Amino acid sequence: MGKKIFSGVQPTGNLHLGNYIGAIKNFVELQNQKDNNCVFCVVDLHAITVKQDPKTLKDNIRETTAAFLASGIDPEKSIIFNQSLVSAHAEGSWMLGCVARMGWLNRMTQFKEKAGKDKEKASIGLYIYPVLMAADILLYDATHVPVGEDQKQHLELSRDIAQKFNLDFNVPNFLKVPEPLIKKNFSRIMSLKDGTKKMSKSDPSDLSRINLTDSKEEIVNKIKKAKTDTRPFPENEKDLNKRPEVENLLGIYSSLNNQSLKNSINEFAGKNFSEFKEKLSEIVVEKIYPISKEINKLQKDNNFIDDVLKVGSEKAGAIASEKVKKMKEILGF
Ligand code: TYM
């Protein structure tokens, strides 16, 4: 039997190579495997957990949708929609929020990072964000959720919430307990400027990340400037120890070439970094620049994008509202 896949990406601008390698590239692979049913969501309700300019949000919803399409997600094969068009997500989230425990949410490291020192001023939405994420997944009976490493804890919470709901209301297996799909080695792409920091949309330095909308020149320039170290090119995987920048660049190279880290090291062992960086630029340009070009093209046709989202949200809404209806019956409404 095929897998039921659900995943989401926030429309908060600056989609980057980390989002691509950690998530979107895998979405496309899963979509193209036989018998899988895939749902990919632009999670705009998650985006508003921090302040958004409404006009920019609208542009970013379309840009994230364009990035899905440009990367190869096909609306004929997968459901593509934005969360706010399907009200069942908000309803489901409320019901699951009454099952989830404060103690569980208090452990979420992403909330602590995002809220920073002054967590009294963080929105309630930011705090209960992982409950909405659980609703996203559980409303579709997703069996597998492809994400980057940073979402692992949130997925574990989704599993806990599903199990507690089933237990509390004595409905074994009603909510399906989802499995995370996290690619070993390639699930945490780091900043090009600091191999100990995650590549992130919010890094003030644009040189720290390759955006999915970068031009060829920008890609080449950023890789040229990417940090390495003064030691010779590694000879084997052990040589990567305590060399986060080199490990990261090799990870990017390996993932885009669909080969193991070991094979990439063998390919360049004995050579110098400039040769490696040249090949790295070539593969990033080859894989990312066509996406960038297509995003630009798609963004000229808002009607097309809005239509994809509308059609997708009707399909998604049919599934999610059915599940919410059953949840309501179980709760006694
Ligand atoms: P978001 O929008 O922050 O990121 C989207 C996806 O990209 C992955 N990612 C990375 N992977 C590798 N290296 C990186 N540097 C990197 N940065 C980001 C993320 O792990 C994610 O898979 N809460 C989620 C969105 C969400 C969701 C869901 C995901 C909402 N509902 C249901 C799965 C299922 C988020 O904020 O992702």
Model confidence pLDDT, tens digit, residues 73-102: 999 999 999 999 999 999 999 999 999 999
Per the listing, tokens 């998604």 go with: 316
Strands 79-82 and 144-146 come out as unpaired
> Is 190 strand, coil or helix?
strand
pLDDT tens track for 142-181 = 999 999 999 999 999 999 999 999 999 999 999 999 999 9
Token pair 């599903």 is found at: 162
pLDDT attached to residue 185: 85
- What residues does each domain of the chain span? 4-188+302-331, 206-297
Q: Calculate the alpha carbon distances from 36 to 1, 219, 280 in Å.
A: 8, 33, 32
pLDDT for position 46: 98
State which amino acid sits at residue 72: G
- Report residue 47's pLDDT band, with 50, 70 and 90 as the boundaries: very high
Q: For residues 18 and 199, is the Cβ–Cβ distance under 8 A? A: yes
What are the counts of helices (DSSP H) followed by strands (DSSP E) for the chain? 14, 5
Topology at the third CATH level for domain 4-188+302-331: Rossmann fold (3.40.50)
Bridge partners for 7 per DSSP: 40
- Predicted local distance difference test score (pLDDT) of residue 216: 97
Residue nearest to atom 5 of ligand 1 (CA): 9
| Ligand 1 shell residues, CB under 6 Å | 6-10, 18-19, 21-23, 43, 46, 133, 136-137, 145, 147-148, 150-151, 154, 187-189, 198-199
DSSP SS3 for 52 = coil
Span 50-76, pLDDT tens digits: 999 999 999 999 999 999 999 999 999
For residue 87, the CA-to-ligand 1 centroid distance in Å is 21
In one letter, which amino acid is 35? Answer: D
Q: Out of 4, 25, 183, 198, which one is annotated catalytic?
A: 198
User: Could you read off the pLDDT of 272-327 as tens digits, one per residue?
Assistant: 999 999 999 999 999 999 999 999 999 999 999 999 999 999 999 999 999 999 99
Please compute the mean of the pLDDT values over residues 112-136 and round it to a whole number.
95
Task: Identify the CA nearest to 50 among candidates 138, 1, 5, 111.
Answer: 111
Which class in CATH covers the domain with range 206-297? Answer: mainly alpha
Whose C-alpha lies nearest to ligand 1, atom 27? 8
Between the CA of residue 242 and those of 234, 246, 247, 248, what are the distances in Å? 12, 9, 9, 11
Each residue's pLDDT tens digit, 8-42: 999 999 899 999 999 999 999 999 999 999 999 99
